[in-house]
């Protein structure tokens, strides 16, 4: 949803909305290769983390199962199973959040990391996207597009650089 809004708000598309709406969906796909990567169930957690660090946002893992053709049909009819079925094979989608959630639930194994401050761990980022509160919304399109690709938010600040709010592509996605 956010991809489409950002695409339609580009200056070249605002001048001709009807031709922008005729653009093939393939043009909306990110130029970043490997946003969705296939991994085998035997892949290690370290391999999964490496793929995420290389830019993968989702990992698709085939699930080995012994499903009969009758139960396959029932599974295909149910969309609330949490699994994806493609050509009769089940797949599980793992997001970056799933991997982080797993690591956080296992953090006790990584002593003394839980006792260290966030600053000492070096996870406070200083490179962030901002837009001034009174700026025209059209100026935010580039930052929102970048934040979508980087899975971050855009900070909305006043003239003194004080945080007023944020623009989150994820929140916009949930509001659809």
What's the chain look like in SS3?
Answer: CHHHHHHHCCHHHHCCHHHHHCCCHHHHCCCCCCCEEECCCCCCHHHHHHHHHCCCCEEEEEECCCCCHHHHHHHHHCCCCCCEEECCEEEEEEEHHHHHHHHHHCHHHHCCHHHCCHHHHCCCCCCCEEEECCCCHHHHHHHHHHHHHHCCCEEEECCCCCEEEEECHHHHHHCC
Q: Please report which confidence band the pLDDT of residue 135 belongs to, taking 50, 70 and 90 as the band edges.
A: very high
What integer pLDDT is reported at residue 78 of this predicted model?
45
Sketch the domain layout of the chain as residue ranges.
Answer: 39-123, 125-176
- What value does the mean pLDDT take over residues 76-92? 61
- The arrangement of secondary structure in 125-176, i.e. its CATH architecture, is 3-Layer(aba) Sandwich (3.40)
| pLDDT single digits (tens) 144-171 | 888 888 888 899 999 998 999 998 877 6
Smallest CA-to-CA distance from 88 within 121, 108, 64, 53 is with: 64
| pLDDT single digits (tens) 32-54 | 566 888 999 999 999 999 998 88
| Cβ atoms of 87 and 120 closer than 8 Å | no
| pTM assigned to the model | 0.47
- What value does the mean pLDDT take over residues 121-141? 88
């Amino acid at each position: 949803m956010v991809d489409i809004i950002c695409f339609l708000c580009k200056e070249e598309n605002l001048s001709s909305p009807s031709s922008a709406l005729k653009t093939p969906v393939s043009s909306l796909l990110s130029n970043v290769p490997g946003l969705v990567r296939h991994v085998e169930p035997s892949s290690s957690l370290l391999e999964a983390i490496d793929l995420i660090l290389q830019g993968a946002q989702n990992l698709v893992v085939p699930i080995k199962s012994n499903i009969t053709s009758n139960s396959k049909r029932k599974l295909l009819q149910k969309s609330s199973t949490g699994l994806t079925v493609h050509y009769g094979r089940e797949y599980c989608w793992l997001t970056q959040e799933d991997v982080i959630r797993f690591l956080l639930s296992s953090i006790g194994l990584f002593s003394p990391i839980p006792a260290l401050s966030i600053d000492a761990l070096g996870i406070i980022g200083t490179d962030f996207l901002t837009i001034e509160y009174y700026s025209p919304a059209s100026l935010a399109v580039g930052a929102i597009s970048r934040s979508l690709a980087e899975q971050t938010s855009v900070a909305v600040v006043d003239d003194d650089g004080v945080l007023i709010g944020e623009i989150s592509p994820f929140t916009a996605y949930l509001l659809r």
